[in-house]
Structure 1
Amino acid sequence: MTSECNKKIDLSLMDKVFDKYYKGNGNIVSMLQDAQDIYGYLPLDVLKAIADKTGNKRTKVYGVATFYSQFRLNPRGKYMILQCQGTACHVNNSEVIGNAICDELGINPGETSSDGMFSFEHVACLGCCSLAPVIMINGEAYGNLTPDKVRKIIRDIYAREKEEAI
């Protein structure tokens, strides 16, 4: 994953957002939603620009961005792993599946791998109880998991990516 301090953010992309919503400081959430649609997350430079444009303190804009779970302050990986935390998955040892994912990728829930390939999040329920324990990767469900199976899934995705890059 590219460090944000090394990545140049094109703030001109926010001009349409400011034109659309700027009527004072009451539209911060709408601006943040549109900004996240543009960038895929909320870069700190964008939060600063929203604060400056609306006349709000940067801490207020940052507070709004961190209060709502819909907002991300870091880019998501190419592959989004959602791990079910529902009752069926819990009683079928979903914790060991999550531990295997964290160990394999070197991340914790809510983080993105250093190569930008995977992001990992816990979700309340995926609605696939008969497959417990289950994860979903970019909309595809993987069930009846063991730590070895989930590690193989991740390694297979890496292998496929490497093959496609050739």
Structure 2
Amino acid sequence: MSDTYTFDAKDLKEIEKIIDKYPEKQAAVLPVLWYAQDKFGHTDPSIQKLVARTMDIPEAHIHGVVTFYTQFYEKPKGKHVLDVCTCLSCQVCGGYDILHYLEEKLGIKAGETTSDGQFSLQSVECLGACGYAPMLQVTNDKYVNFLTREKVDQLVEDLKAGKKPAFESITMPQHKNDSE
């Protein structure tokens, strides 16, 4: 591990703005960690120490937050991180089939990154979109829902070409009241 990560004056000013939005420093841990991950691409133990020192919060607390949330990367990841939901709803609807198809397509296993650094693949717990299963999230941003092999193929090609997935608005079915 290297302790060569630093926040410059601009970073410290931005972090102070983040902290000032909250009644207590500890409440700002998540957004400060997001800031650090955006800057460095991950939140390895050296970055966790930096955040702890900067915020004057125990390292154990910062580490606990990073290890609790799958959205924080403890090691460098690829340019595009594909988080495939493999929780029960997605499993039943083919989540593992999609994960295994991506493993085959990208030539990596879940938890690995392609040799060109373009893609990291992860199996994750519930992303809160059970009604759209199977689904995945692209680099802590857009969800891609109702996945099929064809949709996955298009997604990978689009990402390779620098095209991010568009926001997909899906309306949940509405329950009809018997009196209507």
Q: What's the TM-score bracket when you normalise by the shorter of the two chains? A: 0.5 to 0.7
Secondary structure of the residue aligned to 2:109 is coil
> For residues 87-136 of structure 1, what are the alpha-carbon distances to aligned partners after superposition, in whole Å with 9 as ceiling and x for unaligned?
66433433122112123331315x5444332243435353664xx54445
Gaps of 5+ in 2: 163-180
Q: Which residue of 20, 24, 27 corresponds with 2:25?
A: 27
Work out whether residues 112 and 120 of structure 1, in 8 Å CA contact, stay in contact via their aligned partners in 2. yes
What's the TM-score, normalizing by structure 2?
Answer: 0.54
**Map of 2:109 onto structure 1:** 107
Q: Structure with the greater relative contact order (CA < 8 A, sep ≥ 6): 1 or 2?
A: 1
Partner of 2:82: 81
Greater Cα offset, 32-41 or 90-99: 32-41
Q: Deviations over 1:125-164 (max 9, x none)?
A: 53664xx544455636364524xx4663465347635xxx
Aligned to 2:157: 156
How much identity, in percent, do the aligned residues show? 19
TM-score (normalised: structure 1): 0.57
For structure 1, list consecutive stretches of 5 or more residues without a partner in the other structure.
162-166
CA contact (8 A) 2:5 2:46 kept: yes
Whole-angstrom distance in 2 between the partners of 1:139 and 1:19:
26
Q: 1:126 to 1:76 in 2, by over 3 A?
A: farther
Q: State the alpha-carbon separation in 2 of the partners of residues 98 and 8 from structure 1.
A: 35
- 2:18 corresponds to 1:15: no
The CA deviation at 1:52 is: 3.4
Q: Does 1:52 align with 2:53?
A: yes
More helix by share: 1
Alignment root-mean-square deviation, CA: 4.1
CA contact (8 A) 2:91 2:134 kept: yes
Alignment match, 2:65: 64
Letter of the 1:141 counterpart: V
Q: Residue 153 of structure 2 aligns to a residue in which SS?
A: helix
Answering whether residue 37 of structure 2 is matched by residue 36 of structure 1, we say no
